[in-house]
Amino acid sequence: MRGLARDLRLTEQALNESITLQQHVDANRILQLYERLVRIFTAKGWSFERKLYASTSREGNKAMNLNSFIGLMGHSLKRVETSDGVILRDVREGESPDFVMRNSEYVLKLDADSMLLRDYCLRLVYQMEQPGNERVAVIQTPYSSYRGAPTRIERIAAATTDIQHMLHQGMTYYDATFWVGANAVIRKAALEARLAASTAPRKLIVTDGVFSMDGDIAPLPALLRLAEAHQAWLLVDDAHGFGVLGPQGRGSLAHFGLSSPRLILMGTLGKAAGVAGAFVAGSRDVIEWLINTSRSYIFTTGAPPLLAETLLTAVDLIEHGDTRRAHLAALIARFKAGLRLSRWQLLASDTPIQPVVIGDNHETLAVSRALDAEGLWVPAIRPPTVPKGAARLRITLSAAHSFEQVDRLVATLKRLEARHP
């Protein structure tokens, strides 16, 4: 707080001198100083040390590490000891969280050996919020941006920081190369803010329909509203939704009853359809454009007639397969209702992908092998496919399964959880 107190004294001294000398003080400048001081005294901050936890990214890529932290923000978390170290996971129903990861609009990234003062960081945030800076995503702070820098050149740099973060490469816009270095203030911009700030003639939002490792469904209605509001396209990869979700198995978009010329749907024919290949669906203009400009389509040999005929049969089975999908939904409900775990975690999913997070890689492999020995094939998924400390069994149900098979799987999982420490 010494640095802040010094700033206040200097500001007061400058204003008093202006009054004594009867010099005009610009009203806008006074308002600017006032708003900055209000921000400094009223803003609330908190800190988090990422490297304490094995489940957060430890890659050489700083942006990946930052994203692993941002993904925890707003979550209620439990600390769990594993052989890989302490991991963080979402609390289960009925549990009390060890802590709640707060959410915030801005994130300050600091190296462990850095010392940035609170008031300086808030000045950077204030600068980002000034008119004309709405598109600024990150301000890269100089290493020398703290008081008491030991060398002359660092003291000079600290004195010119306001000029530096306005002029050098540290002020980065959404449509420019995004580099997160050692110390930076990042605007945790929502997708809406980025779309609103973009001046690109074509904007594209890309998402899975069903996420393959967690089994959850993307918030497609909200994403489509954003796309239409900002003249963007929404491209949905529905590899795990087509054939399973929605009336007639039409996929994730049909599941939500969505239709718009701003939608592009793509999917594979190698999962629910059981054949090979893929498709893209969209408005007539989009499809005509792809047919005439997509190099990979133009120079790809057409599907063999046998495969095409098999696909027609598969699509017919999907279209008239509501009874099978109803049976699949009943299997999912039975599995979720029956599996009550104490150490492992069944993630929240209403799709055929039902992940059971075990955490430890060795235990996950051992359980997968034990299931296989009992005639139950459940693959073990480990990092880097999933985050470190989040190794899991990826259970995938299908309409071909029976209630008896689901009951046997549930009973075996309970027994193995009790057996494995």
* Residues labelled as active-site residues: 212, 240, 271
Give CA angle at 206 (204, 212), nearest 5°: 175
As a whole number of angstroms, the distance between CA 71 and CA 86 comes to: 17
Long-range contacts of 29-35 (CB under 8 A, 24+ apart): 35/126
Relative orientation angle of helices 2-20 and 27-42, to the nearest 10 degrees:
160
Give CA 218 to chain center in angstroms: 11
Alpha-carbon dihedral sign for residues 334, 336, 340, 346: positive
Strands (E), 83-188: 85-90, 99-100, 106-109, 136-140, 171-173, 184-187
How far is the CA of 26 from the CAs of 15, 106, 126, 236, in angstroms? 11, 30, 19, 53
DSSP-derived 3-state class of residue 129: coil
Question: Among 103, 116, 123, which Cα is nearest to 41's?
Answer: 123
Sheet harboring 345-346: ordered strands across?
A: 345-346, 353-359, 391-396, 380-381
A 10 A CB-CB count for 117 gives 17
Alpha-carbon dihedral sign for residues 309, 313, 314, 315: positive
Sorted by sequence, the CB contacts under 8 Å of residue 142 that are 6+ apart come out as 157, 158, 161, 164, 165, 170, 183
DSSP-derived 3-state class of residue 175: coil
Bridge partners of 82? 85
